[in-house]
Amino acid sequence: MQQYSGKSIFKGIAIGKIYFYSKGEQQVKRHKIEDAAGEITRYNNAKEQAINELTKLYEKALKEVGEGNAEIFNVHIMMLEDEDYNDSVNNIVENQSMNAEYAVARTADNFYEMFSNMEDEYFKARAFDIKDISERVISILNGASTGSDIGNEPVIIVANDLAPSETVQMDKDKLLAFVTELGSSNSHTAILARTMNIPALIGVKIEESWNGKMAIVDGYTGTFYIDPEEEMLNEYKAKKEEEENSRKLLQDLKGKENVTLSGQKINIYANIGNVTDLAAVLQNDASGIGLFRSEFLYLESDHLPTEEEQFQVYKQVAETMAGKKVIIRTLDIGADKQVDYLNLGKEDNPAMGYRAIRICLNEPEIFKTQLRAILRASAFGNISIMFPMIISVNEVLQIKKIVAEVKAELDTVGIEYGEVELGIMIETPAAAIISDLLAKEVDFFSIGTNDLTQYTLAIDRQNAKLDPIYDAHHEAVLRLIQMVVDNAHKEGIWAGICGELGADLSLTKRFLEMGLDELSVSPTFVLPVRKEVRETK
């Protein structure tokens, strides 16, 4: 038996045979061509086929893993349509008289090197996306398959790395677990693994010779066992059965209150990216929606969504939730979420740049359009509005003034709207430290622990090299959360968490001790958090 340690991305146990997944990079031959125009036509046809395939992948991912996780395929489409990328391919074909396969491969290498050498981690991550889309086009040009066939039986996928397009194409009924050598806990594939409830490990030195061997993935300890002995195999089969029984027992928690043994109550809401996530919210019995990431309406569009387009979406969510609270976060674009039509431009440090509420206050008409749509929809349900990336009281005062202007406009034309709570996200140390002042101006706080941790520790959460020291449990982060809760309660408003830390069961008891009023998590974590709450004294 062999034993290896890695970093756990999603807890759980998987037992089965290993399938060594190889990307099978295309062998590209370089040769001279005489008809450059014809070769460019070949490339354009392959590119259009690739875009069609990516569109289908987006639609498949939308159904299986939700809007937020599917968005990477729209990013890939935009990259294939990028003018600089296409100019490079065309230039190599025309000026060097080279075949399209070589031109794409050469462009991919050049862009990969360019992105890899950038200091910004977001653009570094795009280097792997360039490789992914280029391999797809080369495969099409070569007449090769672009699918991800893993056979007919359930397997543990072992790979050097996995692209989002590869994981989404795999048959979900055949996936037991992922084990990769590369990747980070915030990579697209890691997020997909968590969304699909598939145990996953990263940072394991893999070997192709493992293919076909029996293995165990222990996502609780981050351990990978190759050729386990019979005694260990039986031990883990028992653990797996116990795990499955526990999952079934969670279903019995539907309809139960989120209340501790001592009688303390807490709201458990769900985070969503679009209306397609509503089924999971209802299936997992969330008490409401604590974070509706409205930016995905903008990311999936090739134009600024109109007031009517937004209104119809917000209305549908409000009606579907039938009186349960729906908290809509206003446009949180910028940093790692870009849309071409806003022409935001590239920034050296986008995580701290022109983003979120900074854009909205600088572009009031864009902001007002969204606010009108949300307020109109509030007449059809229980809607609250939340504003991201706040750092000052002055920003809140500007927001409230704009909201008042929009309400006055609606009153003038006789359009009804409901009673809407206004809240802010606490994502920056600045907001946490002055939360006593901010609490006087709003109805609630929602703590975005992902960014709060990033900014407090001065660690880029998408930088895999920093994973060993990225500590969301850092006492400084937890003390800031406590400060925010205390200051909220002093002013009689409620405070919750909508970041990933809300689903960390090892912290549930401490969050209850802090006095948090709400935890908003991915839909699949609603029942596990409810179970933890109900078992806490």
Q: Which two tokens stand for residue 99?
A: 């075949």
CA distances (Å), origin 153, targets 19, 359, 521: 10, 50, 32
Question: Which is catalytic among the residues 31, 76, 188, 473?
Answer: 188
30 is in an annotated binding site: no
Number of H helices, E strands in the chain: 20, 16
What number of other Cβ atoms are within 10 A of residue 451's Cβ?
21
Amino acid present at 131: K
Tell me, yes or no, if 360 is annotated catalytic.
Answer: no
293 is in an annotated binding site: yes
Residue 162 CA to residue 179 CA, distance in Å, equals: 9
Q: DSSP strand E in 304-354: where?
A: 325-329
427 is in an annotated binding site: yes
Question: Which is catalytic among the residues 76, 360, 489, 498?
Answer: 498
What number of other Cβ atoms are within 10 A of residue 59's Cβ?
12
461 is in an annotated binding site: yes
Residues 6+ apart with CB under 8 A from 517: 266, 267, 494, 495, 496
Q: Which two tokens stand for residue 284?
A: 């997992």
Tell me, yes or no, if 188 is annotated catalytic.
Answer: yes
451 is in an annotated binding site: yes
Long-range pairs for 47-51: beta carbons < 8 A, 24 or more residues apart: 47/80, 47/86, 47/137, 49/140, 50/80, 50/133, 50/136, 50/137, 50/140, 50/146, 51/77, 51/80, 51/81
Taking alpha carbons only, the member of 199, 164, 204 closest to residue 182 is: 204
Residue 239 CA to residue 522 CA, distance in Å, equals: 25
- Compute and round to an integer the Cα radius of gyration of the chain: 25
* Residues recognised as catalytic: 188, 498
List residues forming the annotated binding site for phosphoenolpyruvate.
Answer: 293, 329, 450-451, 461
List residues forming the annotated binding site.
Answer: 293, 329, 427, 450-451, 461
List residues forming the annotated binding site for Mg(2+).
Answer: 427, 451
